[in-house]
Structure 1
Amino acid sequence: MIKITFCKLSEHYLSFIARGHSHFDVKGKDIVCAAVSSLVQHTARILHDRCEAVVKKSHGKLEVLLRNPSELSDILIDELYKSLYDLQEQFSSNLSVEVNEDANRYTNVCS
């Protein structure tokens, strides 16, 4: 299962982490993995380029941390969340999306 956790403090998203594999189908034919990967990587690239987010990638894991959350970063992450939530509705055994509210930005809440 792919698990995506968003961390929020007050009204601002601080970070999100996506990890795991959907196991919907074999590699190269997994539509859930392809959809999630496209959405997450696209958003991470924009956040890195436009909002100076820190992006860490490793096998089966992508983490994005906002140093200075802004209106733009909140809009982008909120739209990512909505899109992933819609996918979760269709593929609940392959994808889990959650938001940790009032996260502490100085602890590793999302890992």
Structure 2
Amino acid sequence: MIQVKLTKEKNKTTITARGHAQYSVKGSDIVCASFSTLLTHTVNNCTDVAVKDERGLFTAKFEDVNSIGNQTMLKAFENTVNQLAEQYGKYITVEEVSL
């Protein structure tokens, strides 16, 4: 299962993710592919992002949440990852935290 945590603070948003969907065999797992594409697209199209990938835990810290572009991308990520969780809840979960 993919476990996603979206932590929103006043001036920073952090996305953490770990795990594998295991929806299907390697190479044809549509849940894993969808999430990976969504996360990569979000990170690659935002500014001031610090990324760390260690031992299966991926962390992306978005420092410029006041940027209109970043706000748009992060809202799109949030909406889409929640849709994935609604449709494939057995394979991906989302936790949202506001500090």
Question: Shorter chain as normaliser: what TM range?
Answer: 0.7 to 0.9
Q: How far apart, in 1, do the equivalents of 2:63 and 2:79 lie?
A: 22
Equivalent residue for 1:45?
A: 44
Gaps of 5+ in 1: 103-111
Moved more, 29-38 or 1-10: 1-10
> CA shift at 1:82, angstroms?
0.4
Equivalent residue for 1:105?
A: none
Find runs of 4+ consecutive structure 1 residues off by over 4 angstroms: none
> CA shift at 1:74, angstroms?
2.2
Q: Secondary structure at the match of 2:45?
A: helix
Tell me the TM-score normalized by structure 2: 0.87
Matching of residues 1-111 of structure 1 within 5 Å: 1-10=1-10, 13-47=12-46, 51-58=47-54, 60-70=56-66, 71-102=68-99
Q: Tell me: CA distance 1:38–1:89, structure 2 relative to 1, closer, same or farther (3 Å).
A: same
Percent identical among aligned pairs is 28
Tell me the TM-score normalized by structure 1: 0.79
Q: How far apart, in 2, do the equivalents of 1:87 and 1:25 lie?
A: 15
Q: Secondary structure at the match of 2:22?
A: coil
Aligned-residue Cα RMSD (Å) equals 1.6
Moved more, 51-60 or 21-30: 51-60
Q: Secondary structure at the match of 1:74?
A: helix
**For the Cα contact (< 8 Å) 1:21–1:60, is it kept in 2?**
no
Q: How far apart, in 1, do the equivalents of 2:61 and 2:33 lie?
A: 22
Matched pairs, number: 98
Residue-by-residue CA offset, 1:29-81 (whole Å, 9 max, x unaligned): 1010000000001111112xxx1211123464321112332232222111101
> CA shift at 1:19, angstroms?
1.2
Gaps of 5+ in 2: none
